[in-house]
Amino acid sequence: MAEIGKDITKAKQLLEAGELVAIPTETVYGLAGNALDVTAVTKIFVAKNRPEFDPLIVHIADRAQVNVYAENIPELAQQLAERFWPGPLTLVLRRKNNIPDLVTSGLDTVGIRCPDHALTRELLQSLSFPLAAPSANPFGYVSPTTPAHVNDQLGDKLSYILDGGACEVGIESTIIGFENDAPVVFRMGGLSLEKIEAVVGKVHIATHSSSNPKAPGQLVSHYAPRKKVILGDVKNLLKDYAKEVSAVLSFKTNFNVPHQFILSPSGNVEEAAQRFFTALRDLDKLPVDVILAEQVPNVGLGRAINDRLHRASAA
């Protein structure tokens, strides 16, 4: 098991020595290494069992650093960064040559984000390099939102978990790329479409791609617990699956069944997002055969939750 603590100096020293450290962000915990050190980056791919065609996000200390690692930044990208960084937004931009090929899987673009978490920003500010950090979970599984989640699955693969408490947003960043300088959403996430469109107008959404996905978050089966997830109308599903031992994942309704997780009894999609990955993990541990789940309202962060529910149920 990895050590869990709040020691920024220790995290800094490990990272400077080329080791991996799990870091808190407002979205999910990341498995971080020196983005400019190919050996450290290789360790990330190995620890996650992640295919090398899946590029990593580079985390920077503040907005201005984007110009160190990216060039030809579209005007709308500048506007989004100014409005939403630090925050749950990743911008896919033309990369400069100082970013190793392994980080971008050989693409000529790089995903960059300035995370909004006090501990991690302090850590980033103390380092002379940015941090490459995918979500700190084995490839394809549910992302971690607490230090214990990280320790459960990757505890033997890293030495230190920087403890920043439970993640406030709870769902991965929204990823936006640019085609002919127009924004395209590659992954729905912790920054809602409504907030994005209020700044840049209507955006194109390309979150599904079965062949050659730009972001593996676009793979149909991803973010999946090990148990079978069935998505639909829970009341009907409880009848259809009456012969099986089931657990229910609902938005706000109490179905009065022995195993259930209600995401937000008050019906708040932000709260539901914050608790969503914990819900999937907790339900995955129950002695049940199937997880019967319903969609949440398709507004705000509800879109990102529904996207992950669909992928989880496609496994």
Q: Which residues bind Mg ion (CB under 5 A)?
A: 135
Q: Which residue is nearest to Mg ion (CB)?
A: 135
164 makes contact with ligand TXA (CB under 6 A): no
134 makes contact with ligand TXA (CB under 6 A): yes
90 makes contact with ligand TXA (CB under 6 A): yes
Identify the residue whose tokens are 């599984």. 141
Structure tokens at 20: 């991996």
What sign does the CA torsion over 288, 292, 297, 298 have? positive
196 makes contact with ligand TXA (CB under 6 A): no
**Sole binder of ligand TXA in the list 15, 21, 57, 231 (CB under 6 A):** 57
Q: Between residues 59 and 227, which has the closer beta carbon with respect to ligand TXA? A: 59
Structure tokens at 79: 């506007």
Q: Tell me how far, at minimum, the Cβ of 28 lies from ligand TXA, in Å.
A: 5
Selected range binding ligand TXA among 53-61, 149-157, 259-267, 295-303, rule: CB under 6 A:
53-61
> Which one of Mg ion, ligand TXA, none interacts with residue 56, CB within 5 to 8 A by kind?
ligand TXA
Strands 174-179 and 89-95, sheet pairing: parallel
Q: Is-contact 127 107, C-beta < 8 A?
A: no
Q: Where are the beta strands (DSSP E) in 157-296?
A: 160-162, 174-179, 182-187, 204-205, 228-231, 246-250, 260-262, 290-293
Three-state SS at 64: helix
304 makes contact with ligand TXA (CB under 6 A): no
130 makes contact with ligand TXA (CB under 6 A): no
Q: Between residues 248 and 302, which has the closer beta carbon with respect to ligand TXA? A: 302
Q: Between residues 56 and 269, which has the closer beta carbon with respect to ligand TXA? A: 56
The one-letter code for the residue type at 295 is Q
**Sole binder of ligand TXA in the list 33, 86, 87, 217 (CB under 6 A):** 217
Structure tokens at 196: 């994005």
Selected range binding ligand TXA among 173-181, 192-200, 277-285, 302-310, rule: CB under 6 A:
173-181
Using the CB atoms, write b or e for 187-212: b if 16+ within 10 Å. Answer: bbbbbbbebbeeebeebeebbeeeee
Q: Which of 108, 113, 84 has its CA nearest to residue 96? A: 108
Site residues (vs ligand TXA, CB under 6 A):
25, 27-28, 30, 54-57, 90, 92, 104, 107, 109-111, 113, 115, 133-135, 172-173, 175, 177, 186, 214-217
